Amino acid sequence: MTRSTRIVCTRWGVSLGLILLLEAACRSGVVPTLAVLPPSEMFAAMLELLSTEEVLANVAATFSTVAVAFLAAVLIGFAAGVALHGLPRFRRAIDPLLASYYSVPIFVFYPLLVALFGLSALPLIAIGFLAALPAMLIATLLGLDRVPPVLRRVARMHRLGSARTAALVILPAALPNLFQGIKLSLAYAFIGVIAGEFILSGGGLGYAIAYAYESFDNRTMYGLMLFVLLSAVISNTLLSTWESRLQRRRWRA
Amino acid sequence: MTRREGLLDGTLILLAMLAVWQALYQYAGSAALTPPWATARYAVELLGTPTFWGHATQTLSAFAWSVAISAVLGIALGLWFGAFRFAGDVAEPMLASLYTIPKVTLYPVMLLLFGLGPSAKIAFGVIHGMIPVVLFTLGAVKNIRPVLLRAARSLRLSPMQTARFVLVPAVLPEIASGLRVGFSLCLLGVLIGEMFASQRGIGFLIINGINSHNVKLTTAVTLIVIVFAVGANSALLALDRRLHHRG
Amino acid sequence: MTETAAHAVLRGVTRVYPGTSQVHALGPIDLDIAKGEFFSVVGPSGCGKSTLLDVLAGLNPPTAGTIAFEGEPVAGSVPDGVGVVFQEDASFPWLTVRDNVAFGLRRLGMDAAEVTRRVDYAVGFMGLADFAGAYPAQLSGGMRQRVCIARTLVLQPRLILLDEPFGALDQQTRLLMGDELLRLWRETGATVLLITHALDEAAMLSDRVGVMSSRPGRFIDLVETGWPRDRDSRIVSDAAFGAITARLWSSLRTESMKAIGRG
Ligand SMILES: Nc1ncnc2c1ncn2[C@@H]1O[C@H](COP(=O)(O)OP(=O)(O)O)[C@@H](O)[C@H]1O
Ligand SMILES: [Mg+2]
């Protein structure tokens, strides 16, 4: 067994062990079942919930909001990153803002967004977008920064125009960072949308969880929570796998 | 770029943001937000009231606790994972995964486990803030160049001297970066905690303002939070840069 | 050396890097490189060798002076027929060795069969045949540099500029690569400008060696080696080889001391 398979196996083992431990702790009453549901029941609750129309509607609402926010953030974040990279002085000036961005809880802007966009899906999309945008922008800047200058000179030696230089040299060279940005953007869009729903809005999975908590419906709460967490972990893992598949040969040193 | 130019650019950016704010106010009206000058005046007024400070003290103390716990636990775990390579390689992607989940869904669990008091907020701040500290510390330890340790051995440094003159200076800058990120996320966690099922704290003030359509209050408190977050973050960033230049 | 038409002509070429602390890196330099000549440049580190290459290739404009390649002024872009091998590792990490080498040919819209033929030849020539499907990250530094050389050579440039291409190689491989370079030079009839910090390499490969002063770089000596065109690394045992290397070192010694701050 190679070291990396051992690592993966151990990771699965540890995860499974933690789940079993929680199961045992709940079943034996060390953790009160009133506070935490045993994982097996969480899972059963999740499956039950996912067969109800109401929950599926919530899932669809949340996922589509996240998807729109994510796509907009990736496209606009990339474009803004490229533009900002070309304007070094402006970039230096707004650098402190970028660096402090994630220290401000963005959904405090929710009322403002509602006033701007009305009570629709747009304010939530905007929150997801605002949460994800800087991740993509910063990743794009970093990616462009890290393109080795000598590669640009190679492009000039091959007498490539600026479009072909961008497509054939700059973009592939910046790709690892761009991918990182895409991954983070998805995670942040999801975090932003769920948090917005949870605290402020009247719909979607986040709201359903908050509502279940307030009506002491632990089964629903834990079922939905498990679903949200699994969705985040699975989508993140899928992207990571795809990323390492793309990068594997490339960076195998 | 000279210092003067930097100052000028900073001022211009600030003015541009104020202009956008004013324009938003003109567009969305006073049901959405209050204009810059009025907001600033009200914020200063708020800062003179004991009620505000009652809430602020709650938030700041929960924040301070969660930063302290995140730092201690995070550094300890990070060093441990860093020292035991295998454990670190097992844990790193799990932690990274944990970092990307919508942690807000876990808040009800904190409430069920810790009750409605400040402990739930602190715990919630810790879940947000600790992971980056662990990850940065782990990375710092993992990336110490082995040749540094060999150099220490060749100079016949004692283990204490090695730690003091080689290991600590080598990992400190990265750990400081982790603490800076953790600091921001702790604040985020505590504020989110206060926005849900809470009766006290800055987060509560904001959410209460939103629910009771007290736009003046919401905007002013939001401004105070932003100024605090950006100010603290900039100070830590400056410190961070100093450490990295040396390192 | 027989008198042939100058292939590249530099007149009063100077380069000052702009910025707050203006660095006068090069010149003024006057130089004629003959068509088919193998010209090497040696000089202390930081004296402006790479700067000279950049300016000659049209990658950077000279601050003063003019450059002509095949009678046409070089300005703003790399002229057709000039190939450059850079000092840094410039292989594309996202392409296999084969695709790296084919990069330039595909940009020219050459048909696939011809690309394959030329690429296979260049890959074999550089001793990379077993690694044609590998990615640069799987290769050693020296092999990556060979990928870059192959990528430039397939374009069949008439003027080849090489910036310390063998810096990452061990001495034995370096000698053998020198032989390969000589063979290539003979077969293609290209003009070669080689920048190197190895005096023996310069002495062995070149028709003429330019010795540069410490920054701002100027030619303080031009040494004709007088080697026959048909030569290889075995000339290192020739008595004349020792004499040339000695002359290069005596010209360089003072300048090198200046470069490390003991002038
Ligand atoms: N882009 C640049 N800006 C400012 N100075 C530079 C730049 N590139 C090189 N220099 C300076 O010009 C001098 C010559 O550099 P270079 O041509 O790379 O030297 P060499 O290749 O001979 O080692 C050095 O002192 C170097 O620091
Ligand atoms: Mg150089």
pLDDT digits (tens, 9 = 90+) for B143-169: 888 788 888 887 788 888 888 888 888
Closest CA to A110 of B32, B43, B208: B32
Q: Where are the alpha helices (DSSP H) in chain C?
A: 49-57, 97-107, 112-125, 141-153, 171-188, 199-205, 239-259
Contact A151 C90 (CB under 8 A): yes
Asked if residues C5 and C35 have their Cβ atoms less than 8 Å apart, the reply is yes
Nearest chain A residue (CA) to C160: A157
- In short, whether C48's Cβ falls inside 6 Å of ligand 1 is yes
CA distance A39 to A65: 28
User: What does the block give as tokens for A200?
Assistant: 């402020």
Which domains, and CATH codes, for chain B?
55-246 (1.10.3720.10)
DSSP classification of residue C140: -
Q: Which residues contact C101 (CB under 8 A, 6 or more apart)?
A: C119, C122, C123, C147, C150, C151, C154
The encoded tokens of residue B4 equal 């003067």
Supply the ipTM of this predicted assembly: 0.86
* Ligand 1 within 6 A of CB of C167: no
Both tokens assigned to B137? 């510390």
- Assess C81–A contact: CB distance below 8 Å, yes or no: no
Band (pLDDT 50/70/90 cuts) for residue B64 is very high
Specify the pLDDT at position A250.
Answer: 64
The C-alpha atoms of residue B101 and residue C87 are separated, in whole angstroms, by 45
The closest-lying atom of ligand 1 relative to the alpha carbon of residue C45 is 23
pLDDT for residue A237 = 87
Task: Answer with the residue of higher pLDDT: A200 or C13.
Answer: C13
Say if the Cβ atoms of B10 and A93 lie within 8 Å: yes
Q: Both tokens of residue C39?
A: 């010209």
Give the residue on B whose Cα is nearest the Cα of A128.
B102
**Half-sphere exposure (CA, 13 Å, Cβ side) for B46?**
23
How many Å apart are CA B5 and CA A92, to the nearest integer? Answer: 11
Domain boundaries, chain C: 86-156
- What would the mean pLDDT of C82-106 be, rounded to a whole number? 90
Please give the pLDDT value at position A14. 92
* Predicted pLDDT of residue C1: 41
pLDDT at B90 over 70: yes
CA of A38 to the centre of ligand 1 (A): 66
Long-range contacts of B165-171, Cβ-Cβ distance < 8 Å, separation of 24 or more: B169/B246, B169/B247, B170/B140, B170/B144, B170/B145, B170/B247, B171/B137, B171/B140, B171/B141, B171/B144
**A96 chain-B contacts, CB cut-off 8 A:** 10, 230, 234, 237
Nearest 10 degrees: CA dihedral of B110, B115, B119, B123? 0
Find the closest chain A residue to C134 by CA distance: A249
- pLDDT higher than 50, residue C2: no
Distance A194 CA to ligand 2 centre (A): 54
The CA C255 to ligand 2 mean position distance, Å, reads 16
Identity of the amino acid at B233: N
- Choose between C67 and C253: higher pLDDT: C67
User: Are B32 and A114 within 8 A, CB to CB?
Assistant: yes
Q: How far apart are CA A51 and CA B165, in angstroms?
A: 61
- Chain C residue numbers touching A251 (CB-CB < 8 A): 93, 137
Query: How many angstroms separate the alpha carbon of residue C45 from the centre of ligand 2?
Result: 7
Look at residue C137 and tell me whether its pLDDT is greater than 90: no
Provide the sign of the torsion angle of the four alpha carbons C84, C88, C93, C98, taken in this order: positive
Phi and psi dihedrals of C40, rounded to 5? Answer: -115, 150
pLDDT, one tens digit per residue, over A63-80 is 999 999 999 999 999 999
Distance (Å) from the C-alpha of residue B166 to the closest C-alpha of chain A? 28
Q: Is the CB of C105 under 6 A from ligand 1?
A: no
- The pLDDT profile of chain A, 253 residues, written as one tens digit per residue, is 788 889 889 999 999 999 999 999 888 888 887 788 889 999 999 999 989 998 899 999 999 999 999 999 999 999 999 999 999 888 888 887 887 788 777 877 877 888 788 778 898 999 999 999 999 999 999 999 999 999 999 999 998 989 999 999 999 999 989 999 999 999 999 999 999 898 877 788 999 999 998 888 888 999 999 999 999 999 988 988 888 887 766 654 3
* SS3 state of residue C162: strand
With pLDDT > 70 as the criterion, what percentage of chain C qualifies?
97
| Sequence-distant contacts of C219-224: CB under 8 A, at least 24 apart | C219/C29, C219/C31, C220/C251, C220/C255, C221/C247, C221/C248, C221/C251, C223/C247, C223/C248, C223/C251, C224/C1
State the pTM of this model: 0.86
Distance CA B181, CA A101 (A): 11
- H-helix segments, chain B: 3-28, 36-47, 50-83, 85-100, 107-114, 118-142, 146-154, 159-162, 168-195, 202-211, 215-246
pLDDT at A230: 93
Helix H or strand E segment including A65: helix A53-85
Residue B136, pLDDT > 70, answer yes
Name the more confident of C5 and A7: A7
Contact B79, B137 (CB under 8 A): yes
Two tokens at B235?
Answer: 């100070």
**B100 pLDDT more than 80:** yes
Q: Which of A185-189, B227-231, C153-157, C196-200 has the highest mean pLDDT?
A: A185-189
The neighbours of chain C, by the rule of 3 or more Cβ pairs under 8 Å, are A
Q: What is the CATH T-level fold of the domain A37-252, as seen in this structure?
A: MetI-like fold (1.10.3720)
The beta-carbon neighbor of B105 closest among A14, A200, A209 is A209
Q: C53 pLDDT band (50/70/90 cuts)?
A: very high
Confidence of residue B22 (pLDDT cuts 50, 70, 90): very high
- pLDDT at C3 > cutoff 50: no
* Domain range list for chain A: 37-252
Q: Whose CA is nearest to atom 16 of ligand 1?
A: C48
Would you say A181 and A74 are in contact if contact means Cβ atoms under 8 Å apart? yes
Residue of A nearest to C149 (CA): A154
Confidence at C181, pLDDT banded by 50, 70, 90? confident
Give the separation between CA B73 and CA C160, rounded to whole angstroms. 59
Give the three-state DSSP class for C151.
Answer: helix
> What is the Cα–Cα distance from B2 to A179, expressed in whole angstroms?
35
In the reported structure, the alpha carbon of residue C161 is separated from the centroid of ligand 2 by a whole-number distance in angstroms of 12
pLDDT at A249: 60
Of the ranges B57-61, B229-233, C141-145, which is most confident?
Answer: B57-61
Checking if the pLDDT of B135 tops 90, the result is: yes
pLDDT in tens, B23-61: 988 888 887 888 999 999 999 999 999 999 999 999 999
HSE-up of residue B160 (Cα within 13 Å, Cβ side): 0
d(CA C128, CA B205): 69
Q: Is C83 exposed, middle or buried (0-12, 13-18, 19+ CB in 10 A)?
A: buried
- Say yes or no: CB of residue C134 within 6 Å of ligand 1: no
Amino acid C78 reads: V
What lies within 8 Å, CB to CB, of A179 at 6+ separation is: A239, A243, A246, A247
The pLDDT, as a whole number, for residue A110 is: 78
- State whether the beta carbon of C17 lies less than 6 angstroms from ligand 1: yes
